[in-house]
């Protein structure tokens, strides 16, 4: 039943979602055993940094226009199988320049492949361009300018990702640029660090959404602020277990966030690196916390409401969600 529900996914990293099928196509030498070790995070990751290391090999295989096309279409195939009806796919363009592509060519390749994937699989989608915490101010600003340059395409937003323990001062100007050019923003925070990192991101970067944000539950004032200001949290439960944010899924703050009234959604983070689908995540919430159709429907409606999609797409997807979830 959960598998066939229509789903919305807002927090999904392209470079963390390569299937073995596409990896084998791009590099026939990779065995399934090597794939499991190099592309998937183990259950005993020591930290977020340990988890992020698994993105290195996929990124090596995403350095040409055709490679980027194949990886993007592969993800659309996975989304279709999981009954995802709207997805926002994020990646950092500046990580894909190793074989001579320009940043503009990288974004264009993923944008064109997204258009192809939407047409082929019947899924609505948007692209979020990421800067990374360790980037320079110039690199960050370049990424924001790419988001503005491609704003009339499938590129819908701007994000900051990577090592949350690094400072964000280098990225204030890029977020200011994005805001000035009408680019919606989200920001990774409240994962490796506590509630203070969410406050910091809100105060300095002013995003409409927070990627993860699960440690917001450590600060009741922050939860109240998020609710009052309608800031959406992109929650990724299994990912948070693998990155050792929580030692056990039963300790996860998702139910507390939901009960507080803060807007939230359920996401995979990366389908391969976390080794999970949204259907798996929904089953986990059902088995661990007793979630049912009411909670899942609300999270999906909140996800599309806080998506960076057009009003037309939001209305279309909301209608699909309303029709797709059984009523009492």
CA distances from 52 to 129, 190, 270, 272 (A): 17, 16, 10, 12
Backbone angles phi, psi at 96, to 5 degrees: -120, 40
Enumerate the β-bridge partners of residue 210. Answer: 187, 233
CA distances from 83 to 132, 161, 256, 307 (A): 30, 27, 27, 18
Query: In the numeric block, which tokens belong to residue 242?
Result: 């693998």
Q: Which residues are catalytic?
A: 191
Enumerate the β-bridge partners of residue 79. Answer: none
Residues 322 and 71: their CA atoms lie apart, in Å, by 31
User: Could you tell me where the DSSP H helices lie in the chain?
Assistant: 20-26, 32-38, 48-52, 56-60, 65-81, 103-121, 137-149, 172-180, 195-205, 220-228, 237-242, 254-260, 278-289, 293-305, 311-324
Residues 176 and 243: their CA atoms lie apart, in Å, by 30
- Nearest of 22, 119, 31 to residue 61 by alpha carbon: 22
**DSSP single-letter state for residue 185:** B
DSSP 96-144: S-TTS--HHHHHHHHHHHHHHHHHHH--EEEEEEEEETTS-HHHHHHHH
Query: In the numeric block, which tokens belong to residue 265?
Result: 């959604």
Residues 223 and 213: their CA atoms lie apart, in Å, by 10
């Amino acid at each position: 039943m959960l598998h066939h529900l229509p789903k919305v996914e807002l927090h999904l990293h392209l470079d963390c979602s390569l299937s073995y099928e596409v990896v084998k196509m791009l590099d026939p030498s990779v065995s399934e055993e090597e794939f499991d070790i190099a592309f998937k995070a183990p259950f005993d990751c020591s930290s977020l940094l340990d988890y992020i290391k698994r993105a290195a090999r996929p990124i090596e295989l995403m350095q040409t226009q055709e490679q980027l096309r194949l990886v993007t279409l592969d993800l659309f195939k996975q989304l279709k199988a999981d009954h995802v009806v709207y997805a926002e796919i994020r990646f950092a363009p500046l990580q894909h320049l190793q074989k001579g592509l320009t940043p503009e060519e990288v974004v264009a390749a993923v944008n064109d492949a997204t258009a192809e994937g939407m047409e082929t699989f019947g899924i609505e989608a948007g692209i979020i361009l990421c800067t990374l915490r360790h980037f320079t101010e110039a690199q960050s600003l370049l990424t924001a300018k790419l988001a503005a340059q491609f704003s009339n395409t499938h590129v819908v937003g701007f994000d900051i990702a990577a090592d949350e323990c690094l400072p964000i001062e280098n990225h204030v100007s890029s977020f200011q640029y994005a805001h000035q050019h009408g680019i919606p923003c989200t920001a990774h925070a409240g994962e490796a660090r506590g509630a203070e990192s969410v406050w910091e991101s809100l105060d300095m970067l002013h995003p409409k959404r927070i990627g993860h944000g699960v440690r917001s539950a450590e600060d009741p004032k922050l939860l109240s602020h998020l609710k009052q200001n309608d800031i959406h949290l992109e929650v990724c439960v299994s990912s948070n277990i693998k990155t050792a944010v929580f030692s056990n899924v039963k300790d996860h703050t998702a139910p507390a966030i939901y009960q507080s009234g803060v807007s939230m959604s359920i996401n995979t983070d990366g389908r391969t690196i976390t080794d999970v689908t949204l259907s798996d995540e929904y089953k986990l919430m059902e088995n661990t916390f007793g979630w049912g159709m009411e909670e899942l429907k609300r999270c999906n409606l909140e996800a599309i409401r806080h998506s960076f999609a057009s009003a037309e797409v939001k209305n279309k997807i909301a209608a699909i969600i309303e029709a797709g979830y059984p009523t009492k």
